[in-house]
Chain A
């Protein structure tokens, strides 16, 4: 059974989500309402998947995602949040979250997203694809060509189609690719962003002289 932890400060939501997960055959190992508590509990109960709301009372959501990524072994984080918190969603995804779903998504969509997250797939809604696409373009303008992560033409193409609401199956048909290849392209776009984020963190640490001790 896949071990899932739910982090949401709203008790009704937390219980509803936990119940849905339990009914669908997941083992809900913890349901907490605060960021620090979430990181502590995650280190103790080692969930495989964390369903994370970005609006928490004590810590910013992206910060929680970053701290969860440092738990060993790191859980896969699925952000379940409001459509209006785009900056936070992007930050959380850069910090290591593997997917993003709006809270208004249906139960089927939600359970499907948890299943895919547990399988190690990125959960790309059109909204997230738009954010990631925008982030790559922002980096392309801001950084030297050798410095930042770049998307290949194919990856850009795939990401744009995801952002326009096409399913992986439709994309595979249109670009004459296999379903798995489309999935890999999407996964890569996120992987490069995570890598870039880690490189940035290390660079930041070196600049601040934190590597000395």
Chain B
């Protein structure tokens, strides 16, 4: 992953700087008690620093063999400390021969595999250090370096994981944006070509009649569906839904959906219920007045309430029919529409005017 790059470069810089520091310490103490062995260790460290810098830079090599080798070489260098420093170990205090260089594999493990791996590497290195101190009786066993190592392993691992997650999210967002742009471009293209032709086929087909009319009707349905598909606007605030987008799906040559030009925002659940109730009312229209029956859906916003009316041009519902149906246990309209709305605290009124069809009016406080 791209975000790891800077971490690996930082570790390489840290390794080189620590190597220089260890060499300076070695020179200052004139090679401790065993200069030959001491400078040999510094030489090994220099070789491994070079090797590790190149190896970690190549993504395919960043695998467990390399990480294990890194930890092994480092711990081995660390374990030479009692032999190189001898009795001086007591007088010079804290620093082992490789000095801060020992933290490099801890950081590498943490970057590669997270805080748990970082902590494990820190434990291994810390154990080596404690062992080398315990070799000399008078040496005080200091644990603050151990704590620092553990902290470095844990913290860097944690940080890298957070950074990776942030990068993933950003990448997803960028992908989504690209998708959205592509969609808009498609929408423009489709609008300028396919939709126009479908509308034309629909119109001509109806004029020609017969089979052509059926083809025209199919073209019309596809046109409406495609238009709905490509006309998605910006998403509404989280947890709410623009009721218009749900109602638009019911639009067809037989069903006209009229809405304001501004969004009708409702909590997601309420919007779904209202939409389902409208669907039930339209199903009812089809069941009673035939598949081609015309219907009109009007959604409006007034005084903090959303009102949706579904009107058909059927013969109307005779007085008492709904009550009768409910009493008979045939609860179709009554249950699915009134039931849904009662749960949300909405109102439903069903008005039937002879010769002017039936209106189902659903009102819900937004």
Tell me whether A164 and B299 are in contact (CB under 8 A): no
B65 within 8 A of A: no
Give A90 to B298 CA distance when docked, in angstroms. Answer: 16
- What 0/1 readout, one digit per residue, does chain A (161-182) give for beta carbons within 8 Å of chain B? 0011110001001100000000
Q: Do the beta carbons of B262 and A163 come within 8 Å of each other?
A: no
A9 to B197, CA, bound (A): 12
Which of chain B's residues have a CB closer than 8 A to the CB of A198? Answer: none
* Stretch touching chain B among A37-45, A112-120, A131-139, A186-194: A131-139
Residues of A with C-beta under 8 A to B356:
166, 170, 173-174
Interface of B is mostly: mixed
Q: Is the CB of B261 within 8 A of A164?
A: no
On chain A, the residues within 8 Å of B203 by CB distance are 16, 103-107
Instruction: Bits for A80-109, please: 1 = Cβ < 8 Å to B, else 0.
Output: 001110110110000000000001111100
Q: Which of A83, A84, A134, A174: most chain B CB closer than 10 A?
A: A84
B300 touching A9, Cβ below 8 Å: no
Stretch from A24-32, A70-78, A122-130, A203-211 forming part of the interface with B: A122-130
The one of A9, A13, A105, A170 in contact with B200, judged by C-beta atoms closer than 8 angstroms, is A13
- For A55, list chain B residues within 8 Å (CB): 191-192
Cα A131 to Cα B294 in complex, Å, equals 20
- A160 interface hit (Cβ, 8 Å): yes
Interface pair A137/B258, CB less than 8 Å apart: no
A interface size (C-beta, 8 A):
37
Which residues in chain A, 1-35, are within 8 Å of chain B measured between CB atoms?
9-10, 12-13, 16
Closest chain-B Cβ to A156's Cβ sits at a distance in Å of 9
The answer to whether A129 touches B195 (Cβ under 8 A) is no
- The answer, yes or no, to whether B159 is at the interface (CB within 8 Å) is no
Nearest-neighbor residue (CB-CB) of B298 within chain A:
A163
Tell me whether B309 is interfacial, beta carbon within 8 Å: yes
CB distance from A111 to the nearest CB of B (A): 11
**B251 engages A82 (CB within 8 Å):** no
From 47 to 88 in chain A, residues with beta carbon under 8 angstroms from any chain B beta carbon are 55, 82-84, 86-87
Inter-subunit contact A131/B258 (CB<8 Å): yes
Q: Is B231 at the interface (CB under 8 A from chain A)?
A: yes
Residues from chain B with Cβ under 8 Å of A125 in the complex:
256
Give which listed residue, A9, A130, A166, contacts B192 with CB less than 8 A: A9
For the complex, what is the distance from the CA of A177 to the CA of B261, rounded to whole Å? Answer: 29
Given contacts A16-B200, A84-B231, A104-B199, contact A130 B311 (CB under 8 A): no
Q: Which of A55, A86, A104, A125 has the most CB of B within 10 A?
A: A104
- Assess whether B227 is in contact with A84, with CB atoms less than 8 Å apart: yes
Q: Check B309 against A138 for contact (C-beta < 8 Å).
A: no
Whether a CB of chain A sits under 8 angstroms from the CB of B249 is no
Are B261 and A165 neighbours in the complex by a CB distance under 8 Å?
Answer: no
Q: A84-B227, A104-B220, A126-B258 are in contact. Are A134 and B253 (CB under 8 A)?
A: no
Residues of A within 8 A of B227 (CB): 82-84
Number of A-B contacts (CB under 8 A): 107
CA distance A127 to B298 in the complex (A): 8
B228 in the interface (beta carbon within 8 A)? yes
Return chain B residues, CB-CB under 8 Å to A130: 258-260, 298-300
Q: Which of A13, A86, A138, A164 has the most CB of B within 10 A?
A: A164
Residues of chain B with a CB closer than 8 A to A13's CB: 196, 199-200
- On chain A, the residues within 8 Å of B231 by CB distance are 84
Pick from A126, A134, A160: contact of B262, CB below 8 A.
A134
Q: How many whole Å from A148's CB to the nearest CB in chain B?
A: 15
Contacting residues of chain B (235-263) with chain A, CB-CB under 8 angstroms: 248, 251, 253, 256-262
Q: Is the CB of A137 within 8 A of B253?
A: no
- A135 near B261 with CB under 8 A, answer yes
Residues in A whose Cβ lies below 8 Å from that of B344: none
Contacts of B200 in A (CB 8 A): 12-13, 16
Interface pair A134/B300, CB less than 8 Å apart: yes
User: With contacts A16-B204, A126-B296, A130-B299 known, is A90 near B199, CB below 8 A?
Assistant: no
Q: With a CB–CB cut-off of 8 A, which chain B residues contact A16?
A: 200, 203-204
Does B259 lie within 8 Å of A86, measured CB to CB?
Answer: yes
The interface of chain B, by Cβ under 8 A from chain A, is: 191-192, 195-197, 199-200, 202-204, 206-207, 220, 223-224, 227-228, 231, 248, 251, 253, 256-262, 294-296, 298-302, 309, 311, 313, 353, 355-356, 359
Across chains A and B, which 10 residue pairs bring their CB atoms closest together, nearest first? A134-B260, A130-B258, A165-B296, A84-B231, A90-B261, A10-B196, A103-B199, A163-B298, A164-B311, A163-B258
Other CB < 8 Å A-B pairs besides A83-B251, A173-B356, 17 of them?
A9-B192, A10-B192, A13-B196, A13-B200, A82-B191, A82-B199, A84-B227, A87-B261, A103-B203, A104-B202, A104-B220, A127-B257, A131-B258, A134-B301, A164-B309, A165-B294, A170-B356
